[in-house]
Structure 1
Amino acid sequence: NAEDLLEQDIHPTAIIKGFNQASRQARAEIDNVAREVDPTDTDLLRNVAETSMTGKGAELNKDVLAQLVVDAVQAVTVEAEDGESIVDLEYVNIETQTGRSASESELLNGAVIDKEPAHADMPTSVEDADVLLIDEPIEVEETEADASIQLDSPDQLQQFLDKEEEELREKVETIAASGADVVFCQKGIDDLAEHFLAQEGILAASRVKKTDLGFLKEVTGATILSELETLEADHLGTADVTFDDDDELFYVEGLGESHGVTLLLRGSTDHVVDELERGIGDALDVVSQTVSDGRVLAGGGAVEVEVARRVRDYADSVSGREQLAVEAFADALELVPRVLAENAGLDSIDTLVDLRAAHDEGDETAGLNVFTGDIVDTYDAGVVESAHAKSQALSSATEAANLVLKIDDIISAGDLSTDKGEEGQGGPGGAPGGMGGMGGGMGGMM
């Protein structure tokens, strides 16, 4: 739309000024038409999640997945002193697993660790366990410098091995003395140490990812140790720990005041779970923003048509050429319902005319039902969007358009395959080395 105005010899500065005025007015109108939402209104939040998933891989199972998203957000929502709801998505972890249906995805109160017990003789389930998190290896300490040892007899070799065994046994005894029942280690665990841990009845897992260890800290309330010598009972956390042989996963359910949840997304193939993860990630962001902001809008193109109508009314009060830019901004807003109609196989012009007529009659939530082609109250139909996300989108789009309008000249590359004998000849615009200037303001951009 800005290009059309430039062809009418309207200066980019006037267009930028008009776009900024229209953007401010549009965001103000979004505030006016937005509706308050209760953070505990599960049905409405589920509608927000389902709307976000529409058009993505998660759409086929959005009924199940939307509920999981809402439950996850509500599980990590706390109320501040001023009464506002705060959502911390750092306490929501997403894990994926292939080989099962997406409808079997689940929300777990705690962490899911994709590891196996370090030793076959270790227990696989410990209730009310004291959990140790450590990021140093449970192995024989290596010397800082390379060293060679010359042995004169088999007895000396045995003494050397006995010393290593004693060192590993001391490490395991330190762990056992602290009262730890479960150990998650970021580094490796020596085979002999695994054997000693199994003898003590301690469940252990090695090579746990750093991110998983950090999440376990939030779930269990434990402290991540870097030196085993400093281990005390206060450093341990508490949780119910179970290893599932079928899924080959550890389930760690936190106890006490700790909080953290895991969305376990299942799908038939890696491609399916990747698509699910993308859709769920977007839905989590939108729902959490809705809970924090506390406002929603009617979707299906309803808010765009309503805001466009109000911005056009505002344009009448704008003087100068900026008025044309404000009207162009309003026209751009209506691209959303037009594209919705085209994607649904409908006539975009007829649909837009019907939408405008409904809004002129005062129906602020009239939007497009893409399945039937009818104009309906999309808010009642459950097509709901986040007011904060919509406002942010308008702001970002305006900044992007204005950034392009501020470009004064464009430099284009010439023929880079020019023979050496032709070096030094001017390019398309007369610039040396095959580089030419195209420009003269925005009019030079195509």
Structure 2
Amino acid sequence: MATLQGQPVLILKEGTQRTVGRDAQRMNILAARVIAEAVRSTLGPKGMDKMLVDSLGDVVITNDGVTILKEIDVEHPAAKMVVEIAKTQENEVGDGTTTAVVIAGELLKRAEELLDNEIHPTVIANGYRLAAEKAMEILREIAIDVSKEDEETLKKIASTAMTGKGAEVAIDKLSEIVVKAVKAVAEESNGKIEVDTDNIKIEKRTGASVEETELIEGIVLDKEVVHPGMPKKVKNAKILVFNGALEVKETETDAKINITDPEMLQKFIEQEEKMIKDMVDKIAEAGANVVFCQKGIDDLAQYYLAKAGILAVRRVKKSDIEKIAKACGAKILTDLRDISSEDLGEAELVEEKKIGDEKMVFVTGCKNPKAVTILVRGGTEHIVDEIARGIEDALKVVAVALEDGKVVAGAGAPEIELSLRLKEWAPSLGGREQLAAEAFAAALEIIPKTLAENAGLDPIDVLVDLKAEHEKGNKYAGVDVETGKVVDMKEAGVLEPLRIKTQAIESATEVAVMLLRIDDVIAAKELSKGKEDEGDEGGDMGGMGGMGF
């Protein structure tokens, strides 16, 4: 509210909250730091797990940063921005979500100290940006090359991603499965490797041990054969992939059929049956002995298919239809009129098996499959879920490492190297930006410090030892959380894709800079659940999201 010659002028709606200047910055920084602190204890191989219980009482037990942040219901807008970092990191790289959030929290903590020393937010933001650019240069310089043929290194990358998660119990076997799966779906074009991890299907089943998790060079469907009279096992399968329905088509336009006597009705029924029989005959003539159908299969069509000895599965998800076609080399047909034997895919075996309590259909023995399935096993649902999350992270990081061909050492080694090199470089900036660049360098130490804390080690001793090693020129020196000693992580086989670090630092810097530049938070009043404000210009902006001027 402003006053003009004693007359009050209302600018914002009644009930709107406004926080200005340092208070706004403090609030935003605090919210972001709280989020970072929430996930900080999960970082690294010795990180702790979180139990998340939703409003329905469903339980998730995990130490995966992005899963935790997706599950918790965040209200504050600044905190939501930090959660977005984790989601971006997950989409781009698949791992390093906790790292990105923890670095963002520490950058803001260091920025707050600079703000208290009367350094302007714009100066800090500029210093952070310059430091982040320099950090990218240094990371590319210390990166290690990796090739598609180097299976041992790829396995090390996969096991680094899964260490500290539920998947650790069978890490060697799971790493091998992950590398095989990624290599199976990797495609080369113009000398570049491209990996679409969507072509790797993860099916989860409780019962049996984690050790019994297996890679199926083909597709596993959570479906069963539609008719009891159909074969349950087909060798040398010729597979038809159809995205329509094996039913009599409904007419596009509204039509009425007047039937005046029973004979006409009989003819009408016979004609419908003939249409369905013709469909099945066409399928059989083309040589297909397995049918995967995206939509329904009529009861009569099921009968004729069973009679012809054809195994059929209906209502297969669109994504699975695409994967089956990729795995067995089939064309996805939309119309059966022009079906030919060339449209069919091939597999050595299609069979229905009982896994746990439920039946599943396995398509195996595909030649050079471009889509594969990992069947994850475990004692309980929570274990299977957590192992599947670990495998998903590992698949993505191995894919990213293959695409970029670059990895860095893990266990805090790149962060310490960056911290020391940035501190040497910062004086070249001059002015107050130098202080921001030094704060950026100091913030990166939070990663090895947290790894040490989570392992029950003394963080100060660990940082001193790490810095001493890096100053001697050992740029791959990291903290071994098992022994507390500083070792060469390249030799120890603790490796991560370069993109994990570049993406984490870029995202953390961007969100820190964005929050620092906010000096005014105007939050609309919470609208009641009724529709009393429906006609207002702002609509229902709720909570902190609205700007009801």
What range describes the TM-score normalised by the shorter chain of this pair? 0.7 to 0.9
Secondary structure of 1:346's aligned partner: coil
Q: Is the 8 A contact 1:302 1:368 kept in 2?
A: yes
Partner Cα separation in structure 2 for residue 290 and residue 136 of structure 1: 39
Partner Cα separation in structure 2 for residue 64 and residue 286 of structure 1: 17
Q: Which residue of 1 aligns with 2:122?
A: 13
Secondary structure of 1:243's aligned partner: strand
Q: Residues 145 and 110 from structure 1, CA distance in 2 versus in 1: closer, same or farther, beyond 3 angstroms?
A: same
Superposed counterparts of 1:43-122, under 5 Å:
43-82=152-191, 84-122=192-230
Query: Residue 163 of structure 1: CA displacement?
Result: 3.1
Q: Residues 402 and 188 from structure 1, CA distance in 2 versus in 1: closer, same or farther, beyond 3 angstroms?
A: same
Q: Which residue of 2 aligns with 1:292?
A: 403
What is the one-letter code of the residue matched to 1:407? I
**1:32 aligned to 2:120?**
no
Q: Which residue of 1 aligns with 2:280?
A: 172
What is the one-letter code of the residue matched to 1:47? K
Partner Cα separation in structure 2 for residue 33 and residue 227 of structure 1: 55
Q: Deviations over 1:402-434 (max 9, x none)?
A: 1111112122567989xxxxxxxxxxxxxxxxx
Q: Is the 8 A contact 2:225 2:352 kept in 1?
A: no
Q: Which residue of 2 aligns with 1:238?
A: 346
Secondary structure of 1:398's aligned partner: helix
Q: Deviations over 1:122-166 (max 9, x none)?
A: 22222332211112211233345375766655x555444433322
Q: Which residue of 1 aligns with 2:307?
A: 199
What is the one-letter code of the residue matched to 1:263? I
Number of residue pairs matched by the alignment: 417
| Of 378, 384, 391, the match for 1:273 | 384
Partner Cα separation in structure 2 for residue 342 and residue 42 of structure 1: 33
Q: Residues 301 and 258 from structure 1, CA distance in 2 versus in 1: closer, same or farther, beyond 3 angstroms?
A: closer
Partner Cα separation in structure 1 for residue 255 and residue 385 of structure 2: 45
Q: Is the 8 A contact 2:219 2:364 kept in 1?
A: yes
Q: Deviations over 1:332-373 (max 9, x none)?
A: 100001111111112212221121122122222221111221
| Identity between Structure 1 and Structure 2 (%) | 46
Partner Cα separation in structure 1 for residue 462 and residue 527 of structure 2: 49
Partner Cα separation in structure 1 for residue 374 and residue 518 of structure 2: 45
| Of 370, 380, 387, the match for 1:259 | 370
Q: Deviations over 1:177-208 (max 9, x none)?
A: 12111111111112221111111111111111
Secondary structure of 2:429's aligned partner: coil
Q: Which residue of 1 aligns with 2:432?
A: 321
CA RMSD in angstroms comes to 2.3
| Of 344, 358, 361, the match for 2:472 | 361
Structure whose alpha-carbon radius of gyration is higher: 1
Give ranges in structure 1 of 5+ residues lacking alignment: 418-434, 436-446
Q: Which residue of 1 aligns with 2:490?
A: 379
Secondary structure of 2:348's aligned partner: strand
Partner Cα separation in structure 2 for residue 351 and residue 373 of structure 1: 7
Q: Residues 230 and 367 from structure 1, CA distance in 2 versus in 1: closer, same or farther, beyond 3 angstroms?
A: same
Q: Is the 8 A contact 1:298 1:384 kept in 2?
A: yes
Secondary structure of 2:491's aligned partner: coil
What is the one-letter code of the residue matched to 1:376? V
Secondary structure of 1:162's aligned partner: helix
Q: Which residue of 2 aligns with 1:429?
A: none
**1:210 aligned to 2:318?**
yes
Partner Cα separation in structure 1 for residue 146 and residue 261 of structure 2: 80
Partner Cα separation in structure 2 for residue 414 and residue 231 of structure 1: 62
Secondary structure of 1:229's aligned partner: coil
User: Which TM-score applies when normalising by structure 1?
Assistant: 0.87
Partner Cα separation in structure 2 for residue 307 and residue 341 of structure 1: 18
Once the two structures are overlaid, the 10-residue window that deviates more, 22-31 or 320-329, is 22-31
Partner Cα separation in structure 2 for residue 414 and residue 109 of structure 1: 56
User: Which TM-score applies when normalising by structure 2?
Assistant: 0.71
Partner Cα separation in structure 1 for residue 454 and residue 326 of structure 2: 44
Q: Is the 8 A contact 1:298 1:365 kept in 2?
A: yes
Q: Residues 80 and 225 from structure 1, CA distance in 2 versus in 1: closer, same or farther, beyond 3 angstroms?
A: closer
Q: Is the 8 A contact 2:217 2:369 kept in 1?
A: no
Query: Residue 60 of structure 1: CA displacement?
Result: 2.5
Partner Cα separation in structure 2 for residue 383 and residue 162 of structure 1: 69
